[in-house]
Structure formats: structure tokens, C-alpha cells
């Protein structure tokens, strides 16, 4: 027998709005929380590894307690690949970059992920149309602009990390389509477990160590990332993917940077020049164009299991 659904159907518009608000604010704030944790003594990859192993382990335990089936061996392999791509590289490289790059700029760079998703989807035969091509062109002009003359150029390591992170996230997202995966929440838990373990191993092999006991503020930031950024944020995102159009669920990509920039300026005195803000506007314009184009496409027939 299959496990009972974790979320009742149908859902109200108020529930959708609440889930979107959670996603916009929480995921937008995680960039600043990462910065605070790094400044307080957590090494970047160990920070992400601890976060995702604990969050994934907690989710996995709760789901198994509720009777959700454990992933099969092939499903574990697919979740491991997604965990390494989305979390190990996608999030781990952001943590590395934020050692030398502001949280707001990191969020803007990650906002380019939908552009790469468009390219990887085209490689699989799902070619962009009209406005999507325009959005891709605009967005990549913004990416080039951001990386050509902004404060990113002062940090080669941060620049490379923020170029690879959204590419890894996008490739993992497209690669996962049609793969054998467990139920959505179990898939999220398994991905966090696998991605977290990969980050812990990579951090240890690269020589990351705790030189001193992290500050209380850093540990509170880690706790926020673990509970809200991972469990609540991931849960809201997966819930949305199963109740609204993917375009609406993915709208966090152009809301999070604005939230991250505002929080960075307010709580961490981060400052951005006209170059950075201009590039941000261009990238977000491209992402919005892609989202609008996809929203106009006829929705595929829903599959019933």
C-alpha cells in the first residue's frame, strides 16, 4: 500500500500564496545566513554538509516514521546524483563564493539558473520559442555584464564558483526529469543526505577544519539554514511543484535576488554599484521573459498514478 498523501487536495489560493511567500523570503534570506555562518567560523563545505545531513536525516526519519517507503537502490543512485549536482555543487560553490563575494551578488548570479535550464532543455529537444529565445539572450547579456566589470572580478575564485553553481543546479534539474525517484518529500530528504555527505567528504579532503569554536551568531545562522532554508523551504518548493504550474513555483528565481540584496544592504551594510544593479536588472528581465513565455505554453496533460 502506498503512503497517504502528505498534503491534502484541493488547495486554496491562500495556501499557495503562503507557500510562495515562504519560498520568496526564506530562500532569499539564506544567502545572508550563509555569510553570517561563514564569518562566524564555519568552513564553507562543512557548513553545507552539516546543514544538509542534519536536515535530510531529520526529514528521512519523520517520513519513514509516517510509513513513506524508503528509496530503492536505483532511486538512491539518482538521488545521489541530484544531491551532488544541486546541493554539493549548486549550493556548495555558493558557500565557497560567499567567502569573498557579497550575499546579494551571489543571489543575482544564482538567478541565472533558469537561463541554463533553457539551454539544457534545448539539448534534450525541448527547444525555446519566441519570447523564450529573447529571454535567454537578454539574460546571458546580463550574466556577461555582471561577470565582466562588477566586484566579482576582484575575486577569481568567487567568480568561477558563481559561474559553475547555477550551471550545476540547472543540469541536475533537467537531468532529473523522467528519472526513477521516490515520492517528492522522500526524494528531497535523500538528496539532502547524499549531497550533505558529499560536501562533508569534499570539505575534509580539501583540508577544511574548524580553527576555533564558531560564534553563537554563526550557529544560529546554521540552525536557520537547517530548519527554514532546508526543511521548510524545500518542503514549500516541492509542495508548490505538485500544486501549481512550474513557472509559478520557479518564480523564486527572480524574487530571491531582490530579497537578498535588500537584506544584505539592511543587515550587513552591503553596497552595490550601478554596474551591479544594472546587470541584476538585465538578468532578472531575461528570467521574467522566459517565465512569461513558459506560462503561455499549453500545460501538458496531467499523469495520474
DSSP 175-211: HTTT-----HHHHHHHHHHHHHHHHHHHHHHTT---S
More confident residue, 183 or 128: 183
Cis peptide before 65 (omega within 30 of 0): no
Q: How far apart are CA 237 and CA 21, in angstroms?
A: 11
How many Cα atoms occupy the beta-carbon half-sphere of 279 within 13 Å?
A: 26
pLDDT digits (tens, 9 = 90+) for 56-97: 999 999 999 999 999 999 999 999 999 999 999 999 999 999
Domain contains 278: yes
Domain contains 1: no
More confident residue, 167 or 9: 167
- The model's confidence at residue 113, banded by pLDDT at 50, 70 and 90, is confident
Q: How far apart are CA 132 and CA 138, in angstroms?
A: 10
193-204 per-residue burial string, b: 16 or more CB within 10 A, e: under 16: bbbbbbbbebbe
- Compute CA distances 243 → 20, 250, 254, 288, 293, whole Å: 12, 12, 20, 21, 20
Q: How far apart are CA 289 and CA 133, in angstroms?
A: 9
Domain contains 2: no
Average confidence (pLDDT) over 134-144: 76
Q: How far apart are CA 30 and CA 98, in angstroms?
A: 12
Average confidence (pLDDT) over 201-221: 95
Domain contains 40: yes
Q: What is the pLDDT of residue 303?
A: 40
Q: Is the pLDDT of residue 152 over 60?
A: no
Q: How far apart are CA 115 and CA 101, in angstroms?
A: 22
Mean confidence (pLDDT) of the chain: 83
Q: Which long-range contacts (CB under 8 A, 24 or more apart) does 292-301 make?
A: 292/131, 292/135, 293/128, 293/129, 293/130, 293/131, 293/132, 293/135, 294/132, 294/246, 294/247, 295/245, 295/247, 295/248, 296/131, 297/129, 299/245
Domain contains 283: yes
Q: What is the pLDDT of residue 180?
A: 93
58 touches 187 (CB < 8 A): no
* 67 phi and psi angles, rounded to 5 deg: 95, 10
Q: What is the pLDDT of residue 305?
A: 39
Q: How many domains does the chain have?
A: 1
Lowest mean pLDDT among 10-19, 48-57, 238-247, 256-265: 238-247
Domain range enclosing 191? 13-208+222-295
Listed in sequence order, the residues at least 6 apart from 148 whose beta carbon sits closer than 8 Å to its beta carbon are none
Domain contains 227: yes
Closest CA to 229 of 262, 254, 196, 198: 196
Q: What is the pLDDT of residue 192?
A: 95
Q: Is the pLDDT of residue 128 over 70?
A: no
Q: What is the pLDDT of residue 273?
A: 72
Domain contains 5: no
Q: What is the pLDDT of residue 10?
A: 64
Give the whole-number percent of the chain exceeding pLDDT 70: 87
Domain contains 22: yes
Amino acid at each position: 500500500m502506498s503512503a497517504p498523501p502528505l498534503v491534502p487536495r484541493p488547495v486554496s489560493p491562500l495556501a499557495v500564496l503562503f507557500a510562495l511567500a515562504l519560498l520568496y523570503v526564506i530562500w532569499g534570506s539564506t544567502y545572508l545566513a550563509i555569510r553570517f555562518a561563514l564569518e562566524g567560523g564555519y568552513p564553507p563545505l562543512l557548513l553545507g554538509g552539516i546543514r544538509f545531513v542534519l536536515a535530510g536525516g531529520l526529514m528521512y526519519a519523520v517520513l519513514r516514521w509516517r510509513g513513506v517507503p524508503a528509496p530503492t537502490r536505483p532511486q538512491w543512485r539518482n538521488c545521489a546524483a541530484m544531491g551532488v549536482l544541486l546541493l554539493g555543487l549548486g549550493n556548495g560553490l555558493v558557500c565557497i563564493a560567499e567567502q569573498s563575494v557579497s550575499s546579494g551578488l551571489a543571489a543575482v548570479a544564482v538567478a541565472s539558473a533558469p537561463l541554463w535550464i533553457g539551454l539544457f532543455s534545448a539539448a534534450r529537444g525541448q527547444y525555446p520559442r519566441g519570447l523564450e529565445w529573447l529571454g535567454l539572450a537578454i539574460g546571458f547579456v546580463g550574466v556577461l555584464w555582471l561577470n565582466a566589470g562588477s566586484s566579482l572580478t576582484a575575486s577569481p575564485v568567487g567568480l568561477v564558483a558563481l559561474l559553475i553553481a547555477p550551471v550545476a543546479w540547472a543540469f541536475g534539474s533537467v537531468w532529473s526529469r523522467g528519472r526513477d525517484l521516490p515520492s517528492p518529500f522522500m526524494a528531497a530528504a535523500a538528496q539532502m543526505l547524499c549531497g550533505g555527505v558529499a560536501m562533508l567528504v569534499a570539505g575534509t579532503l580539501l583540508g577544511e577544519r574548524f580553527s576555533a569554536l564558531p560564534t553563537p551568531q554563526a550557529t544560529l545562522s546554521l540552525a536557520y539554514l537547517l530548519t527554514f532554508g532546508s526543511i521548510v523551504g524545500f518542503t514549500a518548493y516541492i509542495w508548490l511543484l505538485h500544486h501549481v504550474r512550474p513557472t509559478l513555483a520557479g518564480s523564486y528565481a527572480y524574487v530571491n535576488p531582490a530579497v537578498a540584496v535588500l537584506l544584505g544592504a539592511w543587515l550587513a551594510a552591503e553596497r552595490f554599484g550601478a554596474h551591479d544593479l544594472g546587470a541584476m536588472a538585465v538578468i532578472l528581465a531575461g528570467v521574467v521573459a522566459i517565465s512569461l513565455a513558459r506560462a503561455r505554453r499549453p500545460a501538458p496533460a496531467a499523469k495520474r498514478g
